[in-house]
Amino acid sequence: MDGIWAPRVELGLDRFLSGFADSRFKKIIRHWLALRQEDAVPHRGAVDPVQFKDSLDMVWLLERHEDGHYRYRLAGQAIADIHGGIRRGTDTESLFTPQAIDMFRSRWEAVLDHGQLIRAEGVVMLSDGRQVSRVERLMLPLRSDNGKVSVILGATSYERPRLPRLTTTDFPPTDIQRCSLTDIPLGACR
């Protein structure tokens, strides 16, 4: 279980990759895999967004700071729109409920502390209280400028109504799939 939130499944790389419905995720993953030549976790500065330019609206970078808080380094326009305007430096605690933070934190720590690639799939409740959106999310570890594994390269695809100011408010249980870095040889690019 992902805390009390959802079942999780550990997968090999091929099965992990095949689970994504939105093909844009595969470009991000392929680029991340190509960066893993000598080090299991690539450096943030090595990421070249041109390699997945059609995905930039759904991409986000989240950094864990020394104080234990997680803050966004950047968020694509689709992510900023659905979460009410994420900006550089936005603390996750200002965006999400304590329950959502607890759920997300277990995933973030799996990525940063335990070398897991994460795929999450499920639904979220939108702020009108009546509509839900299917969501698919990817999280990959990156090293920060100081060499610590403290940055998450993430991407989230929402299938939701395109109405202004219709933001995400609730995060029901989600199906979590994980792939361990130890199962992926350096230089592997699928």
Cβ(27)–Cβ(51) below 8 Å: yes
Does 189 reside within a domain? Answer: no
What is the tally of structural domains in the chain? 1
Sign (positive or negative) of CA dihedral 142, 146, 150, 155: negative
Tell me: the pLDDT tens digits for 168-180?
555 555 678 888 8
Tell me: the pLDDT tens digits for 85-100?
677 777 787 777 788 7
Does 65 reside within a domain? Answer: yes
pTM: 0.83
Can you tell me the distance from the alpha carbon of 140 to that of 162, in angstroms, rounded to the nearest whole number? Answer: 28
Does 187 reside within a domain? Answer: no
Does 2 reside within a domain? Answer: no
Does 92 reside within a domain? Answer: yes
| pLDDT surpasses 60 at 40 | yes
Does 36 reside within a domain? Answer: yes
CATH (domain of 73): 3.30.450.20
Can you tell me the distance from the alpha carbon of 144 to that of 28, in angstroms, rounded to the nearest whole number? Answer: 18
Higher local confidence (pLDDT), 45 or 15? 45
Does 100 reside within a domain? Answer: yes
Instruction: Quote the domain boundaries for residue 118.
Output: 8-181
Q: How many helices (H) and strands (E) does the chain have?
A: 4, 8
Does 156 reside within a domain? Answer: yes
The most confident of the ranges 76-90, 107-121, 167-181 is 107-121
Beta bridge partners of 8: 176
